[in-house]
C-alpha cells in the first residue's frame, strides 16, 4: 500500500475541486468548472490505484476508471450514469477547444 502516493493524488483532486467551487460561487467560467470537477473525480478514482500501487491508467473516462477501481469502491447505477454524463461533457469540451 502506498498511502503517500494516494495522499498526493487526493491533494491534486482537492485543488481541482476547490477551484471549481470558487469559480461556481463567483459565477464564472462554467466550462472550466466542469473540467475542474471532472478532473477532481478522475483523480480521486486514480488515488485508489495509487494507494494499491497499481499502474495509473492514462485515461479520462470515469466509467472506465470506475471499472478499474471496482475492487475498492462500488457505484450505483445512477452514479455510473452521472459519470457517463460528466465524461461525455468533458470530452465534448476538449473537442471544441482544439
For 29-52, the pLDDT digits (tens) are 878 888 899 999 999 999 999 999
Check residue 23 and give its pLDDT. Answer: 93
**Residue segments in the chain with a per-residue pLDDT below the cut of 50:** none
Q: Are 69 and 48 in contact (CB under 8 A)?
A: yes
Residue 54: all three cell numbers together = 497499481
**Domain of 77?**
3-97
The pLDDT value recorded for residue 89 is 81
pLDDT at residue 95, as a whole number: 64
The structural domain count of the chain equals 1
Torsion (CA) 87, 7, 56, 73 in degrees, nearest 10: -60
**Whole-model pTM?**
0.85
Measured distance CA(64)–CA(84) in Å, rounded? 10
Of the chain, the percentage scoring pLDDT greater than 70 comes to 93
Q: Quote the pLDDT of residue 79.
A: 93
**What is the CATH number for 9?**
1.20.120.330
Amino acid at each position: 500500500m502506498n498511502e503517500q502516493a494516494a495522499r498526493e493524488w487526493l491533494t491534486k483532486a482537492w485543488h481541482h475541486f476547490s477551484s471549481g467551487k470558487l469559480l461556481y460561487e463567483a459565477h464564472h467560467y462554467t466550462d472550466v468548472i466542469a473540467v475542474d470537477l471532472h478532473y477532481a473525480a478522475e483523480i480521486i478514482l486514480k488515488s485508489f490505484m495509487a494507494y494499491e500501487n497499481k499502474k495509473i491508467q492514462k485515461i479520462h473516462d470515469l466509467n472506465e476508471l470506475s471499472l478499474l477501481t471496482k475492487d475498492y469502491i462500488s457505484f450505483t447505477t445512477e452514479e455510473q450514469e452521472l459519470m457517463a454524463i460528466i465524461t461525455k461533457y468533458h470530452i465534448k469540451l476538449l473537442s471544441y477547444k482544439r
